Amino acid sequence: DKKQTIHFGAGPAKLPQSVLFQAQKELLDYNGSGISVLEMSHRSSDFTKIMNTTENLLRELLSIPDNYKVLFLQGGGTGQFSAVPLNLIGIKEDRCADYLVTGTWSSNAAKEAEKYGKVNVVHPKLDTYTKIPDPSSWSLTPGSSYVYYCCNETVHGVEYNFTPETHGAVLVSDMSSNFLSRPVDVSKFGLIFAGAQKNVGCAGVAVVIVREDLIGHALTECPIVLNYQVQAQNNSLYNTPACFSIYIMSLVLEWIKNNGGVDGMETLNKKKSSMIYDIINSSNHFYTCPVDVACRSRMNVPFRVGKKQGDETLEKDFLDGASKLGMISLKGHRYTHTHTQSGFVACYVTISGDVLENPSAVRNRIC
């Protein structure tokens, strides 16, 4: 008898109810082993099966080509901000990487990469993170080791609806907040990574999908747990992995498979986010979304209440009223740098979000 809440948190985000039930059912005694996954050796046969199932489901859902390794690492998305340059920036002698900086997360990633090599932001600097600069304004650096972008900027609600053209340069994408929300042609990427706690489970594990020829170029200072070659050679078991988080991921992947796979998720996410954008668009500017229509995220919808820059009193009323109606985690992040806006409300409509499970209830409550 769970309290009837509608949870809009970006991550850790809502998990499908059926996944929670199954985890509950198996918590004390996994598969007749007499112990919990929480207590199980990462080298046991039961856990080996969980790892293999998780990887196979991911490979199936995204049609990952055979020349890509799938790794399950710790350190979250932020760990991967460092792991990417530590493993890839040394691929070319110049140690130079191109970054598209369209929001907090790509900005954080670029700052981390600056510790290990030269970083070029390939487009004119943005005053506000509300758009994706037109590709005609990008100037990629010849000979850069890779081109990095964040496919969905979780704080700012900016999402790429196209794959950047890099003219042969290695493309790296942070897909933490839109992973598995639509089909992706993995072969266009050198590397994709995603923290699990938004779309594929709970915190503790990040998925890395990396093309084999990019493995083995780590800088000597790369910590061993972040070294793709070491982890790939050891099937992500060089050290103890986040066993329970990987187990939860396997349950979520199964749920995605049973709910139409990534095509199914794409349909659902469009439907969920359109419900919110429709309300914003028809609100006669009572609600406003600062993001360019062309790159509005299907995963997270930042908006202001009351007027364009937001009326803080009304926004507080909105959040209080929403909370009384059981709608939680709607408070968005505060903008901190290069922005005139100070904060906003945000609906995160992550893959298994409640908007999907009870659309009319949400619509009635929001309106």
- Residues near ligand PMP (CB under 6 A): 11, 76-78, 105, 150, 154, 174, 176-177, 195
The answer to whether residue 174 is catalytic is: yes
Q: How far is the CB of 84 from ligand PMP (least distance, A)?
A: 11
Question: Of these residues, 14, 69, 198, 272, which one is catalytic?
Answer: 198
Question: Which are the contacts of 269, defined by CB distance < 8 A and separation ≥ 6?
Answer: 181, 182, 298, 299, 349, 351
Q: Whose Cβ is closer to ligand PMP: residue 154's or residue 231's?
A: 154
Q: Please classify residue 320 by burial: count the beta carbons closer than 10 Å to its beta carbon, then call 0-12 exposed, 13-18 middle and 19+ buried.
A: exposed
- Residue closer to ligand PMP by CB (options 76, 290) is 76
Report helix, strand or coil for 61: helix
Residue 44 CB, nearest approach to ligand PMP (Å): 27
Closest approach, Cβ 177 to ligand PMP, in A, equals: 4
Of 119, 183, 179, 190, residue with least CA distance to 151: 179
Of 10 and 61, nearer to ligand PMP (C-beta) is: 10
Q: How far apart are CA 197 and CA 177, in angstroms?
A: 9
Which member of 69, 174, 331, 354 is catalytic?
174
CA–centroid distance for 205 within its chain: 12
Shortest spacing between CB 87 and ligand PMP, in angstroms:
17
Position with the least CB separation from ligand PMP: 76
271's CB contacts (< 8 A; 6+ apart) are 356, 359
**In the complex with ligand PMP, which residue's Cβ is closer, 149 or 287?**
149
Q: Order across the sheet with 146-150: list the strands.
A: 68-73, 206-211, 191-195, 171-174, 146-150, 96-99, 118-121
Taking the complex as a whole, how short is the minimal distance between the CB of residue 198 and ligand PMP, in angstroms? 7
Alpha-carbon span 162 to 188, nearest angstrom: 12
Q: Please, which residue, 121 or 203, has the CB nearer to ligand PMP?
A: 203
CB 144, CB 120: distance < 8 Å:
yes
Cβ atoms within 10 Å of 181's Cβ, excluding its own? 27
Q: Active-site residues: which are they?
A: 105, 174, 198
